[in-house]
Structure 1
Amino acid sequence: MRRQLALAAAALILCAGCSAGGPAAGTEGGGTDKSGGPTATDRVRKAIDQLGRGAAGIDQVMELGDAERTYKLTVQGAFDFGADRGRLAADLSGVDIAHVDQMFIGGKVYLKPVDGLEPDRWGVIGRSDVHANHVLRAPLNDPEHVLAQLDRMKEVSAEGEEKIRGVEAVRYAGVLDHETVTLRGSERLRGQMGKARELLGDDFPVFADVWIDGRGRVVRSVLRMTMQDITSTVTTDYAALAKPVAVEAPDAGQVTPVGEVTGLLPG
């Protein structure tokens, strides 16, 4: 059984592995707080809701690897969650297309370069038409997808204060269930994770951490999975913005509709 699980994880190396340990025991869970105040789950959901109505700078690092090699993908930019607008740039070394620029405007996502198009042309696709092909990867690097997963954290507990970029914040730890891990997942991804779940006999443990500062703002989130020497970690820092996120759609003459977008860079 252990060998079968290792093989399953190896097959999912670019969509992550699974984890063998749980979050440390802390205070509060999803039920009523002993003092009658908000629970850890309440605090996390309130902070995520607040972020989901505002805007933030996005600085994300995803690390996928095993004992021999680690892939590092970065996603940086700014996103106005309330207005559904944002601009991001994703970079990954060691692949044919190592950089992708993206703009989110309402229900559309513009990106370039796109395989099959001229390098200076933007591809455009419906935001809801794209599914995640890799575990812990958001479709088209959509920051709202990460918030949707964090909002569904279970077994949430407060784990004490830590400094994040010089700011005191409380870390809240929890887990994501199978349905949340495969949220907006492609048929291929759901099939792979379903088989891995059958081998394990339970959900693959996926752990989530959210750091919330004294003003109730999410300043960092981490999603992580590990199995033997195969690991996947997604760390996202959220910075408060003083100005609205300005994004304009490319000129129509520079845009080509695309039916699908593949590869690790766009998720």
Structure 2
Amino acid sequence: MRRATTHALRACAAATALLSLATGCSSDEQDDTKPSDTKSAAKKDPGKTATEAVRAAVTKVRGTSAGIHETVAIAEGETRYTISADGPFDLAKDKGKLSVDFPGGAIDHVDEIFDGDTVYVSQVQGTDDGTWGSAARDKVEAHYLLRAPLNDPEHYLRQISAMRKVERFGSNETVGGALTTRYRGSIDHATLTLRLADKPRKGAEQIRDAQGTDLPVFADAWVDLQGRLVRLKMTYRMATVSVTATVTLSAFGKPVKVAAPDASRTVPVTLKGGVLFG
């Protein structure tokens, strides 16, 4: 189990754009569909650009609750790992809970409770069993590329709403039984490194400076017929390293019952890493 965690950390570290990958790298991410004709798309949706459609879809889900399913797939050569997070989330009220899993890791499961400006986390190193670590939601950082601080779904929504060069990429694609329109764009450096800790940020900056362009990150957003974002995906691939973050939203509007742990069972913590924590 410790070996699995070590390999995963190595893969995550590689995915933060270390300078050793800076030369001879190119993105080969492809898709089996072609972008829709922009003139045709404009005729179907006059007055709303693809960028506006995605941002409106993000705004709509931010005003309700949803079931959240996140996966982060990390690959280094033939080695692959997947981290997942699942749970109900009231995005309008900033309340939710996630169960985070990394099969095979030395620590393979943590629970997270989001309550307004505070996040509570189980299984924090240095705390007793049954004690929750508490941290300010806006102060926690991500430590790996395409990870959200403490797997916060709001972070991914912020990134996808900032995608650039957006175009309609496909229609009548089914996500969770719903027909959707798919949009594709790219993520710029500022969005990619949003809330990224200092060390991985510097690694990404070294690559960007060495190759003279932003790291290649494709972004996809699926919007249903009600104008809601139902899935987002961001993919980074260079040389033998790839990271794909996917968030699927479902069960919109259901009540979310979340209670913060009793104060006697919490202790303030500073989270500086850990595969499960982002």
Q: Is the Cα–Cα contact under 8 Å of residues 143 and 200 in structure 2 kept in the other structure?
A: yes
1:146 counterpart (145, 156, 169): 156
Distance 1:10 1:196, change over 3 A: farther
Percent of aligned pairs with the same amino acid: 38
Alpha-carbon displacement from aligned partner over 1:27-47 (angstroms, at most 9, x marks no partner): 449xx9577510111111100
In the superposition, relative to structure 1, how do residues 36 and 168 fare at CA in structure 2: closer, same or farther (>3 Å)? Answer: closer
Name the CA shift for 1:10/1:250 in 2 (closer, same or farther; >3 Å). closer
Counterparts of 1:11 and 1:250, CA distance in 2: 31
Which stretches of structure 1, 4 residues or longer, exceed 3 Å deviation after superposition?
Answer: 9-12, 14-29, 32-36
Deviation larger for 188-197 or 236-245: 236-245
Q: Do residues 197 (structure 1) and 194 (structure 2) align?
A: no
With the length of structure 1 as denominator, give the TM-score of the two structures. 0.89
Partner residue in 2 for 1:244 = 255
CA distance in 2, matches of 1:22, 1:168: 22
Q: For 2:197 and 2:123, how far apart are their aligned partners in 1? A: 22
Structure 2 residue aligned with 1:19:
27
- CA drift of 1:163 comes to 1.1
Does the alignment pair 1:226 with 2:237? yes
8 Å CA contact retained: 2:88, 2:96:
yes
- Distance in 2, matches of 1:236 and 1:126, equals 23
Tell me, yes or no, if structure 1 residue 115 matches structure 2 residue 116. Answer: no
State the alpha-carbon separation in 2 of the partners of residues 144 and 210 from structure 1. 15
SS of 1:129 mapped into structure 2? coil
Provide the rounded CA distance (Å) in 1 between the counterparts of 2:148 and 2:101. 15
Does the 8 A contact of 2:141 with 2:197 survive in 1?
A: yes
Query: Partner letter of residue 114 of structure 2?
Result: F
Structure 1 residues without counterparts, runs of 5 or longer:
1-8
1:88 to 80, 86, 98: 98
Secondary structure, aligned partner of 2:275: coil
Task: Please name the residue that 1:69 is paired with.
Answer: 79
- Output the amino acid matched with 1:251: D
Within 2, Cα distance between the matches of 1:20 and 1:36?
33
Q: CA RMSD in A?
A: 2.3
Question: Does 2:137 align with 1:136?
Answer: no
Look up the match of 2:219.
208
Are the structure 2 counterparts of residues 10 and 69 from structure 1 closer, same or farther at C-alpha, using a change threshold of 3 Å? closer
Query: Which of 145, 162, 179 is the aligned partner of 1:168?
Result: 179
Distance 2:272 2:63 in 1: 28
Listed one character per residue, the Cα deviations across residues 179-212 of structure 1 (whole Å, up to 9, x for unaligned) are 0000111111210100011222110111110001
Between stretches 135-144 and 91-100, larger displacement belongs to: 91-100
What is the deviation of 1:26? 3.5
On the 8 A contact 2:68/2:87 being kept in 1, the answer is yes
Counting matched residue pairs gives 257
Tell me the equivalent position of 1:54: 64
- TM norm structure 2: 0.86
